[in-house]
Structure 1
Amino acid sequence: MNRKNFIAGLAAMALGLSLVWGTVAEAAVHAPLRYFMEQPGAYTSETPYGNNDKAGHYVQSGDAKIYYEVYGQGKPLFVFHGGGVGSPYEMGQLIDRLRQNYQVIAVSTRGHGRSEIGHTPLTYEQKAQDMLAVMKEVTSEPAVLLGFSDGAYTAYKVASMYPQRVDRLIAIGAGTLKPRYFQGDMRVEDLSKIDPAFIEQQRQIMPEPERYQEFCTNYMNFWSKMEVNGDFLKTIKCPVLLMVGDEDDHAPVATVLEAHQAIPNSRLCVVPKAWHSAFIDNFPVTWAAMQGFLDKDTQDLLPSKKVPYNG
């Protein structure tokens, strides 16, 4: 297809989306929960994680109420979803499995889903403090943290700032990060063209939908300045399982390997034939690696031997 036809095709697609927008907006209110760019035939949980009145709670953190849900019984395990267009529901298959043996606490990050945005600038420390507020509300014992992408970076910060609160950590799609690796605009209008049903669903869930674009703008401003380096990662002392898809272009394998070398007690799993959302793209491998890590006693995971080169 030449450039002219390609552009014409995009224009036609945008027109078609705009014509059905009203129908999509009306249907989204009553549609089953979905995650961003959910593919036909993908695993979907029967539990509406992130929008479940039966399991939902709020805790005040600074100037925002943070929403979370609690499922199951056992050792507390906190789930931190991805950022921007992330939601607890995207991690539904993992939560469905984990809640059989753990008390799973699925948190909606500030500005996502039912959690408020607040009015103070978004910072790495603030994200960790939001999660700590939830953790304090639920348990006083060291917990397991499971984070994906933005949620994994938040889990890193929690483990660094509040080590007594973390037993072990699973990070999916989060390596070293240089400023301006993530940059550019995140426009709600553009996201609506990609997945109109999801964006309308989020508008229905959000406590302040009129601030959706404001949040997206501030969120990308925060991420464009974000830096995660080896010196910081060395401060994380708990056992860590790093997981990354071999085709991840958000957290490339090389950056996750750097994180693995920096974190003193880390293990590494590269998930084959998987993108950033490795737990969706190749669930069997992701789950098998997680199970092995979770089932071990903490002392069996320490120390983690690092061999940099064979020369």
Structure 2
Amino acid sequence: MYNRLISVISLLLCCSYVYGQQNLRRAFQPPSVVNKMPYGANAKAGHYAQTKDGKIYYEVYGKGQPIVLLHGGILGSTIEMAEFIDSLSKNFQVIAVSTRGHGKSEIGTEPVTYEQKADDVMAVINAVTKEQVVILGFSEGAYTSYKVASMYPERIKKMIAIGAGEQIPGLRKVVFNPKELLNTDKAYWTQQKALMPEPEKLEDFWAKMEVFYNTMTASKELFGSIKCSVLIMAGELDQNAPLSTVINAYNMLPNSQLCIIPNTGHVVFLENFAAVWASVVPFLKN
């Protein structure tokens, strides 16, 4: 039931879309994305927030209620959130974070922990606004969103968590093969490494992330501590967050709504953005 991560990576690559060389390579993007803004490397919108051991890069677009976007891990980057940024920035202040070890954010020196990930996000939020924020995260970004809402409940108004169900050590074994990862899409990694302030540390960072993924827990204690309203979403065929784990998380969250998009996988918002957006809009309005 629980496939090894390498299978998930293969699924992501099979579902990916690469459309030409623009200011940023359009890896993991559908053809419907027409905004050519170089999300993740836009100097006009870019800023840094200082954490205990490194700087986290983020970009700000639009005006209104602040909404934080957190992309997926390892293969993820701010550019994959392009349709969300395009759509949300019309009515919200969008804070798009490049998480630690991704894009222009530093890796730092400390071990990777769940608390560290939440603190990174809060450093960005505090640098931008004193208001409560909505937070939207995908995959690893969704798991980080859970922890932020648990640790800093007074700062989170609502949450949208995509592709992140219950996670207990032992449910699956995460194994990274750096050479295989780097060979999956050489042009993508060439582009991403060019953004990174510490590309020479990337493989060491992946080793730390492997330990983190295999030891993190997102279950009853964490979910029960989240008080804000949560829209938990997933693709029906998600192999990275199987449907049973997503339903488990939904049942443990005190104030939650569930949205399953039929016949889609892990990267559900790239496979069927229209369906995802149709569920996000009423949740944000209520």
Task: Tell me, yes or no, whether TM beats 0.5.
Answer: yes
Q: Whole-Å Cα distance in 2 between the matches of residues 223 and 79 of structure 1? A: 20
Q: Work out the CA distance in 1 between the residues paired with 2:107 and 2:26.
A: 20
Shift of 1:189: 1.9
In structure 2, what is the Cα distance between the partners aligned to 1:225 and 1:35?
A: 32
Residue by residue over 1:89-146, the C-alpha shift from the partner in whole angstroms, topping out at 9 and shown as x without a partner, is 1010111000000000000111111000001000000000000011111111111000
Q: Which of 216, 226, 234 is 1:244 aligned to? A: 234
Give the whole-Å Cα distance in 1 for the aligned partners of 2:142 and 2:35.
22
Sort the Cα spacing of 1:45 and 1:114 in 2 relative to 1 into closer, same or farther, 3 A: same
Aligned equivalent of 1:156: 146
Instruction: Specify which of 79, 82, 92 is matched with residue 89 of structure 1.
Output: 79
Distance 2:25 2:229 in 1: 32
Matching residue's letter, 1:254: S
* 1:35 and 1:86 in contact (8 A); partners too: no
1:38, distance to aligned residue in structure 2 (A): 4.7
Counterpart for residue 4 of structure 1: none
CA deviations 1:141-160 (Å, max 9, x no partner) are 11100000100010110100
Instruction: Name which of 107, 124, 131 aligns with 1:141.
Output: 131
8 Å CA contact 1:176, 1:255 repeated in 2: yes
1:34 to 13, 25, 28: 25
Note the alpha carbon deviations across 1:24-75, whole angstroms, 9 max, x for none.
xxxx9x7532354556x46353111111111000011110100000000000
Structure 1 residues 92-107: aligned runs within 5 Å = 92-107=82-97
Change (3 A) 1:160 1:170: same
Aligned residue number for residue 112 of structure 1: 102
Please name the residue that 2:191 is paired with: 201
User: Scaled by the length of structure 2, what TM-score is found?
Assistant: 0.90
Aligned counterpart, 2:264: 274
| Structure 2 letter corresponding to 1:274 | T
Task: Report the Cα offset of residue 217 of structure 1.
Answer: 1.1
Match of 2:202 in 1: 212
CA distance in 2, matches of 1:283, 1:196: 26
Give unmatched runs, 5+ long, in structure 1.
Answer: 1-27, 297-311
Measured on the aligned residues, the alpha-carbon RMSD in Å equals 1.6
Q: 1: distance between equivalents of 2:75 and 2:224?
A: 29
Task: Measure, in 2, the Cα distance between the counterparts of 1:200 and 1:182.
Answer: 30
Q: State the structure with bigger RCO (CA 8 A, min sep 6), 1 or 2.
A: 2
Distance in 2, matches of 1:223 and 1:131, equals 18
The answer on whether the counterparts of 1:37 and 1:195 sit within 8 Å (CA) in structure 2 is no
User: Which residue, 244, 268, 286 being the options, matches 2:276?
Assistant: 286
State the TM-score, normalized to the length of structure 1: 0.83
Partner of 1:127: 117
How far apart are residue 178 of structure 1 and its match?
1.6
The 1:143/1:252 distance shift into structure 2, 3 A limit, reads: same
Give the alignment of 1:294-305 within 5 angstroms. 294-296=284-286
Distance in 1 of aligned mates of 2:207 and 2:234:
27
Q: Verify: 1:80 aligned to 2:70, yes or no.
A: yes
Alpha-carbon distance in 2 for matches of 1:184, 1:248: 16
**Contact kept? 1:242, 1:266, Cα under 8 Å:** yes
Matching of residue 186 in structure 1 with residue 176 in structure 2: yes
Displacement of 1:288: 0.4
Unmatched tracts of structure 2, length 5 or more: 1-19
Rounded to whole Å, the distance in 1 between the matches of 2:33 and 2:125 is 29
Contact kept in structure 1, 2:67 and 2:134, CA below 8 Å: yes
Quote the Cα distance in structure 1 between the aligned partners of 2:255 and 2:26: 33
